[in-house]
A and B are shown apart, each in its own frame.
Chain A
């Protein structure tokens, strides 16, 4: 990005003028609020009047301590919310990535006319608001709703979705008669939740939200994959074909490695998005049944606006922030590791250029 010509001096003024609306708005409604929330998370402000008034005290990390240790209910609720959201992430991120990649590959193979229709169909859920989709989901997954009706045609008795707090891992273990956990797991707790309950899996209610997330986001990510697939170098694929690799092998050895940058984007966006699930919970269950759809972001909101625990609410938000940042960095490090497939890919690449960067090439210029 080297600049060909030196800028005239007046560009400095214009530059600042041009970015100033952005800076002012983001400063006022992003930077200052973040700093204020930080202060609140270290204060005993209880929601009456300004958090900077004389009666508000600095109480150090007490709000954080209450959430992370001490055995209080605040800790348990926080633990439960992390558990719920973690399971949500564990299920949603891989599945939505796989589904969107699958859809992209299928759509990519169809003829152009069909391609337009299918893309539209798969992408449409992504444009609707989470509120509208949640309302629809509450109906589809109600006890007498469409999903259970459809299941009944298959001779299955559907669960009581949004009212069912049982964890699906527990339910699965229950099939083998394992209804109560071994004492090794039930006796020990982390964040006020026993190990056994950490392994409960997402509740049936949360599973309905998981399906909803996959339904609404797979279209968006499909477009990302589709764009990347279209930009893939056909030459590499052809070389692989000559080499006698079948479709499945080609996909794993050639296509997928080339999609790595997109894969990374999709996983990162998925991770960031799924840790913030709020709209659906606010609209749908408000944490019920039995707190199994409680998420950190809803708990943060609820603590502050519902229970006047503003410091704790802000502290939850910041812990969540840290979780997201750390996980993103970890994920980045993990995805960077695999160098093997790249080498293999190079063997196929007639032009001998770094194919992993192919989709980005144009942006790099």
Chain B
């Protein structure tokens, strides 16, 4: 659970089924003939939007700025975006005198494996549930839905017992395997496969291609938009995951960014507040998801543009 929202919902936005709809068109907010009031209205609108945008962006600017401040500076002038004395001390400490590089490495390893795994397994299962007719399909579907309703905190206690029974406690597989599949991702893929026409597969089927081949070389390439969604969600979800790593490891060599930085945040009082250090760590751990976000933002956002684009 990275943010307050389970990872399955961002995608509700990106569900191909609900996105584009050429038969409908965007509301037409502006009508000619009400000139002055309209302009005044727009000014107010943009003013409000800009103020809110500042509120949303400013904390992150403070975050970055404070990472370059000295500790007294951070305490005296928490609002300023320009450090009085620029210092990279926090970054020095993080990269040269702490386990921070190890945390980055672990987070990266987990995120990559989880993303690859989810792309493959989610689409496999999604395809089967959408297209293949087999006994028990409805039961599996119902099971998946029930599974999504289980709060993740219920699982914290026994999950590591299972990991331990399997000899996976305190290892990379123990961190990765439980995250390899997510029910929400299966749903996204299932919905997507249901939305594309069947004719191509049917043709291939007649030509004698096997089910896996049809899936692998015909259907999967068509599913690129949905796969991008899965990639974004999986990467973001596993990079931001915390509780799974709390319960699956204790070896400091396996600490991830989230677990490490959370430990940093609750450091004992007598060590001082160390805000520049903590905020530098927070800023760095945000970079990969931020990059991903900006690279794929068209994809994340284009839901709403879809209706407008021709």
Report if A and B touch in the complex (beta carbons < 8 A): yes
Q: Which of A's residues lie within 8 Å of B, judged by CB?
A: 1, 3-8, 10-16, 18-19, 21-23, 25-26, 28-34, 36-37, 40, 50-51, 92, 103, 106-110, 112, 114-136, 138-140, 142, 144-146, 149-150, 213, 215-217, 219-221, 223-224, 226-227, 229-234, 237-238, 265, 269-270, 272-279, 282-284, 286, 296-297, 300-301, 304-305, 310, 313-314, 317-318, 320-321, 324-325, 359-363, 365
Is the CB–CB distance between B151 and A129 below 8 Å?
no
Q: For chain B, what secondary structure do more than half of its interface residues adopt (helix, strand, loop), or is it mixed?
A: helix
**Quick check: B1 and A279 within 8 Å, CB to CB?**
yes
In the assembled complex, which residues on chain A have CB atoms less than 8 Å from the CB atom of B21?
A: 231, 361-362
Give chain A nearest CB distance to B237 CB in angstroms. 10
One digit per residue, 1 when the CB lies within 8 angstroms of any chain A CB and 0 when it does not, for chain B 245-274 equals 010000000000110011011100000010
The interface centre, meaning the residue of A131, A270, A272, A273 with most chain B CB atoms within 10 A of its CB, is: A131
> How close is A69's CB to chain B, nearest CB, in angstroms?
22
Closest chain-B Cβ to A308's Cβ sits at a distance in Å of: 12
Q: Does A19 lie within 8 Å of B45, measured CB to CB?
A: no
Expressed in whole angstroms, the minimum distance between the Cβ of A67 and any Cβ of chain B is 15
7 nearest A-B pairs in the assembled complex, by CB-CB distance? A15-B134, A7-B133, A129-B240, A18-B128, A15-B132, A297-B153, A29-B178
B285 touches A131 (CB 8 A): yes
Residues from chain A with Cβ under 8 Å of B262 in the complex: 131, 134, 279, 282-283
Whether B301 lies near A310 (C-beta < 8 A) is no
B303 at the interface (CB under 8 A from A): yes
Known contacts A215-B56, A321-B151, A224 near B161 by CB under 8 Å: no
Enumerate 26 A-B pairs (CB-CB under 8 Å) in ascending A order.
Answer: A11-B134, A13-B134, A16-B136, A22-B186, A23-B140, A26-B183, A29-B162, A33-B158, A33-B161, A34-B155, A106-B52, A120-B301, A126-B3, A131-B240, A131-B265, A135-B261, A227-B13, A231-B24, A234-B25, A270-B5, A272-B149, A276-B151, A282-B242, A283-B265, A286-B266, A297-B153
**Can you add 13 more A-B contacts, CB < 8 Å, to A229-B304, A230-B26?**
A18-B125, A124-B293, A129-B286, A132-B261, A136-B282, A138-B278, A139-B279, A144-B78, A226-B303, A226-B304, A278-B153, A279-B262, A296-B153
Q: Are A34 and B121 in contact (CB under 8 A)?
A: no
- A26 touching B147 by the CB < 8 A rule? yes
A324 to B212, CA, bound (A): 39
Q: A116-B301, A220-B10 are in contact. Are A5 and B25 (CB under 8 A)?
A: no
| Chain A residues near B57 (CB-CB < 8 A) | 121, 124
Question: Which residues from chain A contact B166 at a C-beta distance below 8 Å?
Answer: 28
Q: Which chain B residues have a beta carbon within 8 Å of chain A's beta carbons?
A: 1-6, 9-10, 12-13, 15, 17-21, 24-29, 45-46, 48-49, 52-53, 56-57, 59-60, 62-63, 66, 74-79, 121-122, 124-125, 127-129, 132-137, 140, 143-144, 147, 149-159, 161-162, 165-166, 177-178, 180-181, 183, 186, 191, 194-195, 198, 202, 205, 211-212, 215, 236, 239-240, 242-243, 246, 257-258, 261-262, 264-266, 273, 275, 278-279, 281-283, 285-286, 289-290, 292-294, 297, 300-301, 303-308
CB < 8 Å: which of A22, A234, A361 contacts B26? A234
Q: Could you tell me if B198 and A4 are in contact, using CB atoms closer than 8 angstroms? A: yes
Q: Are B150 and A30 in contact (CB under 8 A)?
A: yes
Closest to A276 in B: B151
Bound CA span A154–B195, Å = 54
